[in-house]
Structure 1
Amino acid sequence: MLDTLAGWSMRPPVVVAHTAYGTNAHLRGGLAERGIDYIYILAIRADVTAHPFDAQPTAPDRKGPVGCWPQPRYRHPAPSVAALATGLGQEAFTSLTWRQGSRGELRSRFAAVRVRPAGNAVERPIRAAASAEQGWWGGILPDCWLLVEWPEEAEAPTDYWLSNLPADPPIAGLIRLVKVRWRLEHDYRELKHGLGLDHFEGRSWPGWHHHVTLVTAAHAFLTEQRLAPKAPGPHSPSTRSSTPSKTS
């Protein structure tokens, strides 16, 4: 999908995805291969492994006077991101607000730390590419951001993300991006319940395509209206119908 967009000279400013995508090391590697044009912030599971940023691989002593030098490798197995996050301690987490909700500020505690994602699915293509280009790999895994959420009422961290954003982004900016998923879920709910995305009852592909196109155009129009400088504020009377519309 991203390659198709690139063929149309369109690139998303940031790729945001939930754990089913973010935990997939092949997807992360594919985005990295495409360069800095694809900035990503991807949710991951707690059992994804990563080395601390300052961990360095070392090469074992060569046995005997002949033969190749052993491949450098990390001396200790990579811990899970859950273990890394817990090891930071609660004092490393900062309480921040990412938006104003209908019932007040939405706040939680976050920490960001540089890590080196690990695992065979991560290491294999990196080793192969380095060996093909240089004939040897130094064993150092690429680093990226690990963003962790640890709500005050929770006994342990609850959510994790990996991001290849530059080395010094403000943590508040990272949080706003990871929480943009709320916007996606809200838009889908509006498409479905407010604009009739799920009302199509036909069986033909042209009919479905026509229906989805009209619903998408309607949603784009409503979004433009909300973004207009003179758009009604949050306390203005709602112009939205209480009965979901149905497109033909």
Structure 2
Amino acid sequence: MTEARARALLTRLGTFLDQFTTCFSRRAHRTYASRYLQGLLNDSCRKSMQPMHGRLSDPGSYQGLQHFITHSTWEARPFWRRLREMIPVRSGILAIDDTGLPKQGTASVGVQRQYCGALGKIANCQVAVSTALIAGKLAWLTSMELYLPQLWLDEEHRAPARIPRPMAFREKWRIAVAHVRTVLAAGFALEAVVADAAYGAIAEFRAALERLGIAYVVAVPYFVGARLMGTTTRESLAAIANSLAPSAWHRIRWGHGTKGPLEARFAAVRVVIPKSRSERWLLCQESLVDGERQYYFSNLPSDTPLKTLVRIARSRWAIEVQYRDLKTELGLDHFEGRSYPGWNHHAVLAAMTFNFLQLERRRRREPLPTFPEIRDLIREVMAALLWTARPGWLKLAISFQRNPPLRI
């Protein structure tokens, strides 16, 4: 990277942070937020505070940074509101997802033995419910909230974790619906909402989306029942798929992954689903490799083309990849604090960093650089800042340049 490009990148990062100025209650908070974002972007192996602080070019006080994240009383909500305002696209598909954050102990707020998607099993973890706007090849984080199991709202757990008094227990699907309302209130036009089977299987969740006037394509388990139009017998989705004629299935490609085209066989039929007297779409997907099937319900109009159903249903693939980047590249699951405010602070700053990287990707020409590729470019700049701040390191590097060491 050239000096001009490096300086321009740092200027854009500073300008990005300046747009949150009104959210900071103290001037020092702007400084600490900048250091934290630089830590998330630098080459520290783990995104907990000590490793990040140790690789900052202008680290300042470690205790000050720790207090800013863990103990300071600043609210995350204004930052989320501003982050939504800064998203450069105003329409798309809204993906609802929950992200499992594995934990070793029992002291971190919200932790308990529950299903962890990251591990694919019941494990000790936290779960974050989030939404992201999918527009083209990019996803933009719009909200994130830590799911609090019932036990964390009793006095024994609430007080040490500093969970606000008004907070009451809410199921994950209710949190998700509240976030959809927030996104709509922010002025986004949603083509549809997509979610996995943990949400799609809940009739109340689907009904809540319909009351909001929102289209959805949501995954559902194979054992959920439905009735084919023109029949009187309720059957499992697997049985309905088995009854479809071979001509009902079509091979469709929906994207391109690192290993080649992403494609499968799909079929769509109109059905009456549980707790609904109206007909809905049942979309069936069958793997070309092992024949494994997945199922989706949708309230899109009856004249919706099959390719449109597939495109929307499979748009979640993009968010799954980019959530992986959020955890592996920006350390969403590395936070070691135990308080509820601390977790919220880390989450919104990680989301700000994520969306900044998406803005940087959006600036580039096709083909769009991957998330790790754009982060590596920024890591080079952060490393250069670190070396210039360490005179001994810089002197050593210059001496090696003038007189290269022997081959190792």
> Structure 2 length normalisation: TM-score?
0.45
Alpha-carbon distance change, 4 to 213 in structure 1, aligned in 2, over 3 angstroms = closer
1:104 aligns with 2:260: yes
Given the alignment, which residue of 320, 332, 353 partners 1:218? 353
The structure with the greater share of residues assigned to helix is: 2
Tell me, yes or no, if structure 1 residue 80 matches structure 2 residue 256.
Answer: no
**Unmatched 5+ stretches in structure 2:** 1-174, 383-408
Q: Provide closer, same or farther for how the CA distance between residues 25 and 5 of structure 1 changes in structure 2, counting only shifts above 3 A.
A: closer
Q: How far apart, in 2, do the equivalents of 1:222 and 1:53 lie?
A: 47
**Deviation by residue 1:107-143 (Cα, 9 ceiling, x = unmatched):** 111011111113xxx16xxxxxxxxxxxxxxxxx210
Partner of 2:323 in structure 1? 188
Q: Is the 8 A contact 2:251 2:266 kept in 1?
A: yes
Is 1:197 the counterpart of 2:332? The answer is yes
Shift in CA distance, 188/78, structure 1 to aligned 2, threshold 3 Å = same
Q: Which residue of 1 aligns with 2:226?
A: 50
Question: 1:40: which partner in 2?
Answer: 216
CA distance in 1, matches of 2:282, 2:207: 16
1:6 is the counterpart of 2:162: no
- Tell me the C-alpha RMSD between the 2 structures: 2.7
The equivalent position to 2:341 in structure 1, one of 200, 206, 231, is 206
Residue 222 (structure 1) shift? 1.1
1:177 paired with 2:312, answer: yes
- DSSP 3-state at the match of 1:161: strand
Give the aligned partner of residue 73 of structure 1.
none
Matched, 1:115 2:265: no
Structure 1 residue 4: Cα displacement: 5.4
What is residue 251 of structure 2 aligned with on the other side? 95
Q: Which runs of 5+ in 1 are unaligned?
A: 56-75, 124-140
Which residue of the partner structure matches residue 373 of structure 2? 238
Tell whether the 8 Å contact from 1:145 to 1:164 is kept in structure 2 after alignment. yes
Question: Which AA in structure 2 matches 1:101?
Answer: G
In structure 2, give the amino acid aligned to 1:20: A
Partner residue of 2:207 out of 5, 24, 29: 29
Secondary structure at the residue paired with 2:238? helix
Q: Is the 8 A contact 2:194 2:313 kept in 1?
A: yes
Structure 1 residue 168 displacement after superposition:
1.5
Shift of 1:166: 1.3
AA aligned opposite 1:177: I
Q: Is the 8 A contact 1:225 1:231 kept in 2?
A: no
Paired residue secondary structure (1:14): strand
> 1:150 aligned to 2:286?
yes
* Shift, 1:170, TM fit: 2.0
Return the offset for 1:96: 0.7
In 2, the alpha carbon distance for the partners of 1:96 and 1:182 equals: 15
Counterpart of 1:44, as a letter, is: V
Aligned AA (1:48): V
2:336 match: secondary structure: coil
Q: Distance in 2 between matches of 1:225 and 1:97?
A: 28
Partners of 1:105 and 1:47 in 2: CA distance: 29
Name the one with the larger strand percent: 2
Question: Whole-Å Cα distance in 2 between the matches of residues 172 and 222 of structure 1?
Answer: 31
CA distance in 2 between partners of 1:224 and 1:239 (Å): 10
Report the Cα offset of residue 229 of structure 1: 5.2
Partner of 1:18: 196
Q: Measure how far apart 1:231 and its partner are.
A: 6.1
Give distance in 1, aligned partners of 2:198 and 2:180: 21
Aligned amino acid, residue 249 of structure 2:
F
State how far apart, in whole Å, the 1-side matches of 2:333 and 2:179 are.
26
Supply the distance in 2 between the matched residues of 1:232 and 1:152 (Cα, whole angstroms).
Answer: 27
**Partner of 2:96 in structure 1?**
none
> Which amino acid in structure 2 is aligned with residue 22 of structure 1?
G
Aligned to 2:269, what secondary structure does the other structure show?
A: strand
Match of residue 61 from structure 1: none
Whole-angstrom distance in 2 between the partners of 1:41 and 1:222: 28
Give the fraction of aligned pairs with identical amino acids, expressed as a percent: 37
Secondary structure at 2:348 match in 1: helix
Q: Runs ≥4 in structure 1, deviation > 6 angstroms?
A: none
